[in-house]
C-alpha cells in the first residue's frame, strides 16, 4: 500500500526526555493549521509526561530556552545555547538531584575562560531559579558557587597621531563616511549600519538612533532595536552637515551603508570593510584599529567633559546609549594627567 504523501512535513527536536535522551519527532499534515495543531498536541503530551520528580536538567533547560528565550535576539539565544553545552554533564541528571558541588564542577571545567564561566553561571542560575518558581526544586544549587574573576580588558584609546593617520588614509567615500559617523556620533557599528537618510533631520540638526543591524552567523542580518531597546537623539554638528548632504545625494539607497549589491551588510561583508579601513589606516602610519575604537574615543571625550562640568554624566550616557554604571566603570580609568583637556577631539575632518 502506497504511503500517503503530505503537503507539509517537518522534524523538530524537543530537548530531552526524563532519561536524558534527545526527543526528535517528525510531523506531517495536509495543511499548516493541521501541522501546527499536531505539534502543539505533542508538546502538551510531553508536558504531562515530564513530571517534576523525574525531569532532567537537559529536558528542563530545553523547555526553559523555548519558553523564556524564544523572543531574544539571535546572539543572545546563541550565548545561552552555548552556555548550556558547557552544562552537558548535568543533562541526564534529574534536576532535583543536582547539588552545589555538581554545579561547581561545571564551572571548574571552564575556569581558565572567565568570560565563558560567567555566561555558564548566569545561565545555570536562571534555569534553576525558574525551576524554583515552578516548584520543582526548593533552592538554587548554583547560588553562591565560585566563579573566576574577570580580567579587565584595557581599552586602547586612539591618540591624536592615530587620528591624523585616519585623516590621511585613502578611504573610499563610503568607508570615510562610516568612520566619520562612528567618531562624531559615538555609535556602535551595528547602529551605523542600520542608518537611513530619514534618521537625520538636518533642519533641526538631530540624529535619531532607534535601531541596529544584527549580523548573524548564518550569513544573514536583521534590523532590531538598539542594544538598550531605547531610542536616543544626538545633535548633528554643523561641520558634518555638508558632508552628509553630499553623501545622501550620491547614495540613492534606502540605507547609508550597504553591500555592493545594495543589500544589508552581513558579518563577512562587515569584516571585509573593517579590515579594509584598518589596512588603509596602517598604510598611512597608524595602528591596527577596530571600528569600536572610534566609539571609545568619542566616549572618552564625553567622559572628560563630565569631569569638568561641561555636561552631566546623564547627558553623556544619553548620547552614547549607555547606563551610568557601564559608562563610569569603562572610561573612568583614563589618566587625565596625560591628556590636554583644552583640545578635546570632537570629530574627524573629511
* Cα–Cα nearest to 307, from 326, 331, 323: 331
Cell of 114: 572567565
Spatial contact of 171 and 157, defined as CB atoms under 8 Å apart: no
Alpha helices in 291-334 (DSSP H): 292-307, 313-320, 324-331
Residue 304 or 341, more confident: 304
Mean pLDDT of the residues in the chain: 85
Q: Is the pLDDT of residue 347 over 70?
A: no
Residue 325 reports pLDDT greater than 90 = no
Domain boundaries, the chain: 8-133, 160-343
Nearest CA among 288, 319, 280, 314 for reference residue 178: 280
Cell of 254: 534606502
Distances (CA, A) of 235 to 148, 157, 196, 303: 42, 23, 16, 17
Lowest-confidence segment of 29-33, 80-84, 165-169 by average pLDDT: 29-33
Tell me how far apart the alpha carbons of residues 186 and 294 are, in angstroms, rounded to a whole number: 7
Choice between 209 and 348, residue whose per-residue pLDDT is larger: 209
Task: Answer for the pair 282, 288: CB distance below 8 angstroms, yes or no.
Answer: yes
Alpha carbon distance 344, 167 (integer Å):
17
Give me the CATH topology for the region 160-343: hpI Integrase; Chain A (1.10.443)
Range among 65-69, 116-120, 152-156 with highest mean pLDDT value? 116-120
What's the rounded mean pLDDT across residues 176-198? 95
Look-up of cell digits 523547555 = 63
Per-residue pLDDT for 102 more than 70? yes
The pTM of the whole model exceeds 0.85:
no
* Cross-strand bridge partners of residue 12: 25
Q: Which residue has the higher pLDDT, 257 or 41?
A: 257
Amino acid at each position: 500500500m502506497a504511503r500517503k504523501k503530505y503537503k507539509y512535513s517537518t522534524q523538530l527536536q524537543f530537548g530531552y526526555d526524563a532519561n536524558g535522551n534527545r526527543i526528535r519527532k517528525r510531523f506531517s499534515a495536509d495543511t499548516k493549521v493541521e501541522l501546527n495543531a499536531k505539534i502543539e498536541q505533542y508538546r502538551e503530551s510531553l508536558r504531562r509526561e515530564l513530571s517534576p520528580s523525574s525531569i532532567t536538567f537537559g529536558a528542563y533547560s530545553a523547555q526553559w530556552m523555548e519558553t523564556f528565550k524564544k523572543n531574544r535576539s539571535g546572539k543572545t539565544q546563541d550565548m545561552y545555547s552555548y552556555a548550556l553545552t558547557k552544562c552537558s554533564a548535568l543533562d541526564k541528571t534529574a534536576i532535583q538531584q543536582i547539588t552545589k558541588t555538581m554545579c561547581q564542577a561545571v564551572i571548574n571545567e571552564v575556569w581558565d575562560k572567565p568570560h565563558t564561566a560567567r555566561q555558564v553561571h548566569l545561565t545555570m542560575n536562571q534555569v534553576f531559579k525558574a525551576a524554583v518558581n515552578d516548584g520543582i526544586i526548593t533552592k538554587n544549587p548554583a547560588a553562591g558557587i565560585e566563579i573566576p574573576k574577570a580580567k579587565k580588558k584595557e581599552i586602547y584609546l586612539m591618540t591624536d597621531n592615530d587620528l591624523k593617520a585616519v585623516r590621511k588614509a585613502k578611504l573610499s567615500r563610503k568607508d570615510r563616511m562610516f568612520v566619520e559617523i562612528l567618531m562624531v556620533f559615538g555609535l556602535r557599528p551595528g547602529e551605523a549600519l542600520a542608518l537611513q537618510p530619514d534618521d537625520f533631520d538636518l533642519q533641526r540638526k538631530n540624529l535619531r538612533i532607534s535601531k541596529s543591524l544584527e549580523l548573524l552567523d548564518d550569513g544573514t542580518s536583521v534590523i532590531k532595536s538598539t542594544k538598550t531597546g531605547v531610542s536616543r537623539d544626538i545633535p548633528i554638528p554643523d561641520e558634518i552637515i555638508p558632508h552628509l548632504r553630499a553623501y545622501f545625494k550620491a547614495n540613492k539607497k534606502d540605507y547609508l551603508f550597504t553591500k555592493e549589491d545594495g543589500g544589508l551588510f552581513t558579518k563577512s561583508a562587515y569584516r571585509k570593510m573593517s579590515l579594509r579601513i584598518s589596512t588603509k589606516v596602517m598604510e598611512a602610519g597608524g595602528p591596527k584599529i577596530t571600528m569600536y575604537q572610534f566609539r571609545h574615543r568619542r566616549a572618552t571625550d564625553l567622559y572628560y567633559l563630565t569631569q569638568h562640568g561641561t555636561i552631566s554624566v546623564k547627558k553623556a550616557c544619553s548620547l552614547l546609549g549607555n547606563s551610568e554604571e557601564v559608562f563610569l566603570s569603562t572610561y573612568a580609568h583614563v589618566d587625565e594627567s596625560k591628556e590636554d583637556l583644552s583640545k578635546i577631539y570632537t570629530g574627524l575632518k573629511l
